[in-house]
Amino acid sequence: MNPPEYKVMGEDGQEYGPVPDTQIRQWIMEQRLDKKSPVLPPGGKDWVFLGALREFDDLFNPPKPVDHRQRLMWLLAAASVVLGALVIVALRRLTHH
């Protein structure tokens, strides 16, 4: 099966394509295309902005980086609560026997 192919409207007003999604991805990474670039999706009748196509979301909206310091703070806070609860249980057992 052939990959889906798109047509692209260049800044010069010329229509390019059809080209596969891999070429679209390459042009995005080369900053030749952006969210506002008009494209005609495979089987589409209307031109849309490239940013409206979910298949390219990963290039325009990459996942936010994990803040390891924030994660560590939450882990330490949770560990403190658990450790505190264990100390309370241990002290109760010691004082009730």
Q: Where are the domains of the chain?
A: 5-60, 65-97
Cβ(51)–Cβ(81) under 8 Å?
Answer: no
Which pTM value belongs to this model?
0.60
Under the banding of pLDDT at 50, 70 and 90, the label for residue 97 is: low
The percent of residues in the chain predicted with pLDDT above 70, rounded, is 98
Compute the distance between CA of residue 30 and CA of residue 45 in angstroms, rounded to an integer: 27
Alpha helices for 1-97 (secondary structure H): 21-29, 57-60, 68-95
Q: Does domain 5-60 have CATH number 3.40.50.620?
A: no
The size of the chain, in residues, is 97
pLDDT at 40: 97
pLDDT at 75: 83
The vertex-13 CA angle with 10 and 15, nearest 5°, equals 60
Tokens, residue 63? 């996942």
Q: Convert the pLDDT of each residue in 3-19 to its tens digit.
A: 889 999 988 999 999 99
Does residue 96 carry a pLDDT above 80?
no
